[in-house]
Amino acid sequence: MRAALILCSVLAACAVDPDVTLRGDDASVADAQPMTDAAPTPDADPAAPDAPPRPDAAPGSPDAGPPDAGSPDAAAPRPIGWPVKFSGGEILIPADALFGFAINVDAPVTLQTWGVIPSDAGTTAKVKMALYPDDAGAPGTLVTWTGVFDAANQTEAASGTPLAAGDYWLALVTDAQMGIRQSSAETVGYCVRSFTFSTAFGSTYGTPASCTTTDALNIYIIVLEQ
């Protein structure tokens, strides 16, 4: 049996009710080439256009040209975070607390979609999400964010923000207590601070009340490699 998870015990130092904590249940969790110019030959006309791609060329070879959008070599959207619903270990996220979870972007990408998976598909909670680059082990300057959306919808379209490779913090805040599942196999860094849901995101995350580690939760982004 898992011990109850207390993630937000430091919220007494915030404006959040210290009696409302982020708690886990006692259930055990079963978690589930771009085309290159050919070198000119001695008799090549330098003003002549590049030869068209050869249809019989091997994929990825200089003669093949860039991949089509529908080809196996084309970049496909992929998630960063935890987009598969964990099977147990529900925790309760309190309202008016901005939780940031550490993620890594391993290559330049474009942000396409935000995602959160509440444990209760019928939840009426509303959420906002934001992304911050890492600044000495805590969330730094605001990069991009969502408006308000229904947690039950699970996803929200992004504005196509380009992201450089690096460490980031994926943050969310809710207007009401919301259950969400946790992993039993992966831990991540997280920070938390008091934040009124109706308030607009500032230019920075602000000063965290606490930064530590916790089990991964079902929040994520969908990106497309540049």
Q: What is the pLDDT along the chain (226 residues), one digit of tens a residue?
A: 333 333 444 444 444 443 333 444 433 333 333 333 444 444 444 444 455 555 455 545 445 555 555 555 568 999 999 999 998 789 999 999 999 999 999 999 999 999 999 999 899 999 999 999 999 999 999 999 999 999 999 999 999 999 999 999 999 999 999 999 999 999 999 999 999 999 999 999 999 999 999 999 999 999 999 9
8 Å CB contact between 102 and 167: yes
Which phi and psi angles does 222 have, rounded to 5°?
A: -110, 130
Predicted TM-score of the model (pTM): 0.71
Neighbours of 64 (CB within 10 A): 18
Domains and CATH numbers, the chain: 9-28+76-225 (2.60.120)
Q: What is the spatial distance between Cα 163 and Cα 154, in angstroms, rounded to a whole number?
A: 22
- Condensed to tens digits (0 to 9), the pLDDT of residues 86-137 reads 987 899 999 999 999 999 999 999 999 999 999 998 999 999 999 999 999 9
pLDDT confidence of residue 158? 96
- Condensed to tens digits (0 to 9), the pLDDT of residues 149-162 reads 999 999 999 999 99
Q: What is the spatial distance between Cα 201 and Cα 92, in angstroms, rounded to a whole number?
A: 22
8 Å CB contact between 122 and 177: no
List the one residue out of 117, 128, 149, 112 whose CA is nearest residue 218.
117
Neighbours of 193 (CB within 10 A): 25
70: buried, middle or exposed (CB in 10 Å: 19+, 13-18, 0-12)?
Answer: exposed
